[in-house]
Structure 1
């Protein structure tokens, strides 16, 4: 049944035919706006009875496109390069079935689908399936797939539905998709070329990581920048804004390593996952990667090893334990700083005397230069005067103690196996800690 519009005859008295036609058109447009608003509200509130009434008693198009509030950009999918990064719109276009996915209006969605609503149109770049995955509505995903939605359809920005599974709550969505043929190794068709496993690694979702691995995800596949999922997870394990480390990202790395991820694969700048962990000063991840066999001496395109990246960020990672990071890298064969450049260590680490002690004790002997004192802030020197006085005392022409020389000889023999090999020497625990550069608060 079509829409019936009424008008007040007195309101148009004295108007000519053209004016009456214009007034009638305005009235029809106003009525249509009101009807669309009524339809949209019913969809948002999951009022299936009202939706059926509207469809039965009006001629509204079941696939009519609404303009709806979308500040979180759930509905919109922009192609890379068309808008500036971070550009946001307050509203987006969507059909009724998109609105149902966004608001988890399952009953209304069923009404629309059974009446032939289009299931794969993208008025603003995403299909209803993409929207359902982004808002983690697993039942909606199942409903769409039951009605013929294509699991591998690509959005305007080049992403398949699995790429929009980015929360723990979207695990059911991913399961439904995989059962219906979603490809776990499909790369996004944009500049990133991320697989769903890369996406799970970036957002730190262990549940999705385990799911993809159990369904044959390529664990060492590189994206457009040659980043493996392990490299991605290692980089995103630290939130620079909140200055905190993510246990979920650590768990993702653990899962990847346990399933055979290669820790020494390099991205386009030749950085490994260990470079990323060192840049974050993430001692938990550094230890995990080194235990898995990561090369502490690996060099990137700039000729920098992980320990050099650690030096660059020591002062700007308040949540880290820098001395533990240095100790781990050195005990796994990480290269030491070139002695004439040791003043740069003091510039970076003067607020962390335990780190300075560990680095100094990795050398058999190192001689101080004029640059050392100027590299240490006066406040730091006064606060840690005993240690810094001992530093300058032993780094003069005075030889180091016999115990220290023996320590260096043992470390020189064990090399990159020092961390593990020292435990096999059958020596007392205090000597083990001494050989592994455990700081004591003073340098002998």
Structure 2
């Protein structure tokens, strides 16, 4: 039996969407934003195209500008009323895409919009994205705006855990210096387990220096030492128990202060040598 006209139209639309991978409704505004083409973007907006036009999967031109790391395009869209908190079908925000591109100036602009902060219920976390990609300036900006360094995302763990898995050494170092908990990872699997598993000797060294427990066991009952065949990492783990009193004292002070108060340590009226000691400088 032949389809009625409305059914035929619906089927055609569905086929077009499937073939195009949900990109059939992309607009010139989206393309200009993604490519960083400021003049065409300004012209399109002046012609009356709405700054918050969305694709079928919820992507806005601002998403595209942030993914490309195009600050000027993002500013223009925001000036024309673009929603800095727009969420795509897969839970991505402009803030997330700014962390993908690693543009701290762009991230700073987005953070000025109070509603642009990452909602805790979303699975796509900006700080996790930045940490994995070694975008340390973005990590620092997010932490300075109140993002929790120990935020756990289902299936990924903490930003520190993700950075260790990705062997993003600079991110691991900055997160630890800024107060991330060296023991918080993914369930019973600690950042040290993650670093050992991927053969990240530099990450292992940093974690141990900040007090990681080399004897902790994951859900399978395995210690970090059980997970490695790398002789250098084995040596690091086997000799980690010999910490000086100075190291132990610093770890105790930092753990007592916690992430939020540690960030304010610079304003304390302490001798420079104590600041440097406390902040690993």
TM-score of the aligned structures, taking structure 2 as reference length: 0.75
State the structure with more CA Rg: 1
Q: Post-superposition shift, 1:172? A: 2.5
Quickly say closer, same or farther: Cα 1:419–1:92, change in 2 above 3 A: farther
Distance 1:235 1:169 in 2: 19
Q: Equivalent of 1:305, from 204, 208, 223?
A: 223
Q: Equivalent of 1:178, from 111, 127, 136?
A: 111
Q: Post-superposition shift, 1:173? A: 2.1
8 Å CA contact retained: 2:99, 2:107: no
Do structure 1's residue 252 and structure 2's residue 132 form an aligned pair?
Answer: no
**Which structure ranks higher in relative contact order (CA pairs < 8 Å, sequence separation ≥ 6)?**
2
String of CA shifts for 1:139-192, please: whole Å, max 9, x gaps: 000000011111111011111111112455532221211112254442463xxx
8 Å CA contact retained: 1:227, 1:266: yes
Pairwise CA RMSD of aligned residues? 2.6
User: Residues 235-274 of structure 1 correspond to what in structure 2 (within 5 A)?
Assistant: 235-237=165-167, 249-268=168-187, 270-274=188-192
8 Å CA contact retained: 1:263, 1:273: yes
Query: Where in structure 1 are there 5+ consecutive unaligned residues?
Result: 1-66, 68-75, 77-82, 238-248, 315-321, 333-415, 424-444
Query: Where in structure 2 are there 5+ consecutive unaligned residues?
Result: 1-15, 248-281
User: Residues 146-225 of structure 1 correspond to what in structure 2 (within 5 A)?
Assistant: 146-167=79-100, 170-187=103-120, 189=122, 193-225=123-155
8 Å CA contact retained: 1:162, 1:182: no
Aligned residue number for residue 161 of structure 2: 231
String of CA shifts for 1:76-134, please: whole Å, max 9, x gaps: 9xxxxxx9xxx995965311211210222211211222232122122242100001111
8 Å CA contact retained: 2:201, 2:233: yes
Quickly say closer, same or farther: Cα 1:188–1:114, change in 2 above 3 A: farther
Distance 1:162 1:256 in 2: 19
Give the total of aligned pairs. Answer: 230
Distance 2:100 2:184 in 1: 27
Distance 1:146 1:188 in 2: 28
